Chain A
Amino acid sequence: MVPQPKTLIAKNGTTPTVFLRPSHGWAALNLRDLWQYRELVYFLSWRDIKVRYKQAVLGATWAIIQPLMMMVVFTFIFSRWANLPSGNLPYPIFNYSGLMPWLLFSSALSRASMSLVGSSNLLTKVYFPRLAIPLASVMAAVVDFGFSLLVFFGLMIYYQIPLTWNILALPVFVLLAVLLAFSISLWLSALNVMYRDVQHMVPFLINIWFYISPIAYGSEIITSPTWQFIYQFNPIVGIIDGVRWTLVGGAFPGTSLLITLAFMLLVLVGGLFYFRRMEKIFADMV
Chain B
Amino acid sequence: MEPLIQLEHVSVHYRAPSERVATFKEYAIRRLQGKIKHREFLALKDVNLTINQGEVFGLIGHNGAGKSTLLKVVSRVLLPTTGRVVIRGRVAPLLEVGAGFHPELTGHENIFLNGAILGFTRTQMENKFQSILDFSELGEFIDAPMRTYSSGMWARLGFAVATDERPDILIVDEVLAVGDEAFQRKCFARINRFREEGTTILLVAHNMELIQQMCQRAAWLHHGELKSLGEPDEVIQAYRQAQ
Q: Which chain A residues have a beta carbon within 8 Å of chain B's beta carbons?
A: 6, 15-23, 36-37, 39-40, 42-44, 46-47, 50-51, 54-55, 121-128, 195-197, 280, 283-284
Q: Mark B12-53, 1 if CB is under 8 A from A, else 0.
A: 001100000011110100000000000000000000000000
The 3 closest A-B pairs by CB, nearest first: A127-B76, A43-B116, A20-B85
Known: A125-B93, A126-B118. 4 other contacts (CB 8 A): A15-B90, A20-B85, A126-B95, A195-B23
B76 pairs with A18, CB closer than 8 A? yes
| B104, CB-defined interface residue at 8 Å | yes
B85 pairs with A19, CB closer than 8 A? yes
B31 CB, nearest partner CB in chain A, Å: 12
B64 CB, nearest partner CB in chain A, Å: 15
12 A-B pairs (CB sep. < 8 Å): A17-B89, A18-B86, A21-B80, A21-B84, A47-B105, A47-B113, A50-B105, A122-B100, A126-B100, A127-B75, A127-B91, A283-B72
Interface size of B by CB at 8 A reads: 45
| B82, CB-defined interface residue at 8 Å | yes
B100 pairs with A121, CB closer than 8 A? yes
B121 pairs with A39, CB closer than 8 A? yes
Q: Once bound together, how far apart are the Cα atoms of A2 and B100, in whole Å?
A: 37
B24 pairs with A195, CB closer than 8 A? yes
Q: Out of B75, B79, B105, name the residue touching A126 (CB < 8 Å).
A: B75
Q: Mark B101-118, 1 if CB is under 8 A from A, else 0.
A: 010110001001100111
Contact residues in A for B104 (Cβ distance below 8 Å): 50-51, 54-55
B113 pairs with A15, CB closer than 8 A? no
Known contacts A50-B105, A126-B99; decide if A20 and B79 are in contact (CB<8 Å). yes
Contact residues in A for B119 (Cβ distance below 8 Å): 36-37, 40, 128
Q: Once bound together, how far apart are the Cα atoms of A46 and B89, in whole Å?
A: 29
Q: Once bound together, how far apart are the Cα atoms of A22 and B75, in whole Å?
A: 15
Q: Once bound together, how far apart are the Cα atoms of A51 and B118, in whole Å?
A: 20
A195 pairs with B77, CB closer than 8 A? no
Q: Out of A22, A125, A128, A283, name the residue touching B96 (CB < 8 Å).
A: A125
Task: Name which residue of chain A comes closest to B72, CB basis.
Answer: A283
Q: Out of B25, B84, B87, B88, name the residue touching A197 (CB < 8 Å).
A: B25
Q: Once bound together, how far apart are the Cα atoms of A125 and B97, in whole Å?
A: 9
A43 pairs with B84, CB closer than 8 A? no
Q: Mark B133-175, 1 if CB is under 8 A from A, else 0.
A: 0000000000001000000000000000000000010000000
For B72, B93, B100, B105, the residue with the greatest tally of chain A CB atoms inside 10 Å of its CB is B100
Contact residues in B for A40 (Cβ distance below 8 Å): 116-117, 119
Known contacts A15-B168, A54-B104; decide if A283 and B77 are in contact (CB<8 Å). yes
A196 pairs with B89, CB closer than 8 A? no
Contact residues in A for B78 (Cβ distance below 8 Å): 280, 283-284
A125 pairs with B77, CB closer than 8 A? yes
Task: Name which residue of chain A comes closest to B82, CB basis.
Answer: A22
A155 CB, nearest partner CB in chain B, Å: 33
A122 pairs with B99, CB closer than 8 A? yes
Contact residues in A for B168 (Cβ distance below 8 Å): 15
Contact residues in A for B80 (Cβ distance below 8 Å): 20-22
B76 pairs with A17, CB closer than 8 A? no
Q: Out of A16, A20, A126, name the residue touching B90 (CB < 8 Å).
A: A16
Task: Name which residue of chain B comes closest to A280, CB basis.
Answer: B79
Contact residues in A for B117 (Cβ distance below 8 Å): 40, 43, 122, 126, 128
B79 pairs with A47, CB closer than 8 A? no
B86 CB, nearest partner CB in chain A, Å: 6
| B131, CB-defined interface residue at 8 Å | no
A284 pairs with B23, CB closer than 8 A? no
| B81, CB-defined interface residue at 8 Å | yes
Q: Once bound together, how far apart are the Cα atoms of A55 and B145, in whole Å?
A: 11
B21 CB, nearest partner CB in chain A, Å: 9
| B73, CB-defined interface residue at 8 Å | yes
B99 pairs with A22, CB closer than 8 A? no
B10 CB, nearest partner CB in chain A, Å: 9
B100 CB, nearest partner CB in chain A, Å: 6
A17 pairs with B87, CB closer than 8 A? yes
B17 CB, nearest partner CB in chain A, Å: 10
Task: Name which residue of chain B comes closest to A42, CB basis.
Answer: B116
Contact residues in A for B109 (Cβ distance below 8 Å): 47, 50
